[in-house]
Amino acid sequence: MATAIEALSSKESVLKAIEEYKKLGREEFLKQHKIKRFKKYTLLYNGEKYDIRGIAAKAYSEQHGYPFKGINADSGTEKAIQYLKDLGFELAETPHPFDYLTEGKLYTRKALIELYGGQLQGGIWTPREFPVIFIFTGESGETYGYKDGWTAEGSFSYTGEGQKGPMEFIRGNKSIRDHKKDGKDIFLFEDNKKEKGVRYLGMFECDSWDHIQCLDFENNMRQGITFNLFKVSSLHAVEEDAETDEADTQTETLEQLRKKALQSSKQSGQRQQSDSKKSWFKRSEDVKKYVLKRANGICEACDQPAPFKKRNGEPYLEPHHTKRLADEGPDHPQWVGAICPTCHRRIHSGVDGKEVNKQLMVTLELKEADFWTAPPVDDPAL
């Protein structure tokens, strides 16, 4: 008798599964076989798309006479992908939202759900298969006490979710608050008044939050949450200038700069009066100055000297956030590397970018660990 670890090796079984899929339609096919749809990859055959889990599960059962154990788990899905590749079938990867979305363009919620998952009415989406958070703003939210918009300080004030009773840091609200720690990027959409759809406003990061008093959908006063968001960019979209005032960097020790970077990297939590774009940028600069000093002119990804010097004579390296796409904003220095432009492009756009980024994360972890084992520095400023 065959065992559960036997491979899917019958191309004919896959073709039979495809025929049944076409006959029943995707939703009914997945329902009958108790399969959760997988969105990150799809099977392409004769110009049509098919769910990888569903096809692999049905084909496996057809070949072996019993179910594909664990097909809905990550490990089972990985096996299904490899089996289909080994059989010569073409698989298409769903583009990362940053590569798919164009700032200022309208999208329908249905199209976004089809690609990434979500809810037609939900204000905060957390797609399981992509390290992103989709958030939606619009006038309709005012019915539930949601009033969002740009502030005089240069941030975007976004109201959390929860239609009745006090808002809590659970589900979507928790995901926004913890997005940097979790390595997720925030993508903001605005409901369009004149045309059907939502307009993509760009990538943002949550720097702090505040409690407010607002009405719920039953017109009862309750405690709400507003998030202080700043728009950020990635090397995907813009060239990193990396021109910064390094006068302080020249006079301060590495340990002093690290102390500033660690303090600035801490999410400020509940919103302070000083939370503005200027202070956010200053905290980001503290981290940037430290990682550039730490690198000492050597790319932390390829271990080669910076390719050239800037006008002020400093080696040219670019800050890179290893846990998320955004290359701006304060972050723990363990997750920010100073790397050469080639490695930066390679990580963001290269075929082996993920592997290079993982190795950089290991390098940075070891570097930061050295600070805890190094002899104490006799410096009265620390």
Count CB-CB contacts under 10 A for residue 195: 8
Identify any residues that bridge with 197 across adjacent strands, giving them in sequence order: none
Return the pLDDT at 192.
Answer: 84
Return the pLDDT at 274.
Answer: 55
Q: Which parts of 216-286 are beta strand (E)?
A: 221-232
Q: Check: CB of residue 152 under 8 Å from CB of residue 274.
A: no
Residues with Cβ within 8 Å of 14's Cβ and at least 6 positions away in sequence, in order, are 8, 55, 56, 59, 84, 87, 89
Return the pLDDT at 381.
Answer: 38
Query: Could you give the 3-state DSSP secondary structure of residue 343?
Result: helix
Return the pLDDT at 373.
Answer: 62
Find the angle CA(173)-CA(174)-CA(175) to the nearest 5 degrees: 90
Q: Check: CB of residue 13 under 8 Å from CB of residue 59.
A: yes
Q: Check: CB of residue 167 under 8 Å from CB of residue 227.
A: no
Q: Residue holding tokens 């080696």?
A: 315
**In this structure, what token pair is assigned to residue 151?**
């502030």
User: Each residue's pLDDT tens digit in the chain (382 positions)?
Assistant: 344 468 999 999 999 999 999 999 999 999 999 999 999 999 999 999 999 999 999 999 999 999 999 999 999 999 999 999 999 999 999 999 999 999 999 999 999 999 998 877 789 999 999 999 999 998 766 655 567 999 888 899 999 998 889 999 999 999 999 999 899 999 999 998 777 899 999 999 998 899 999 888 888 999 999 999 999 986 544 344 444 555 555 689 999 999 999 998 876 666 665 567 888 888 899 999 999 999 999 999 999 999 999 998 999 999 999 999 888 888 899 999 999 999 999 999 899 999 999 999 999 999 998 776 655 444 433 3
Return the pLDDT at 279.
Answer: 85
pTM of the model: 0.84
**In this structure, what token pair is assigned to residue 123?**
């204000």
First-to-last C-alpha distance (Å) of the chain: 69
Using CA atoms, how far apart are residues 198 and 186, in angstroms rounded to an integer?
15
Where residue 93 falls (left for φ over 0; alpha for ψ -120 to 50; beta otherwise) is beta
Return the pLDDT at 196.
Answer: 84
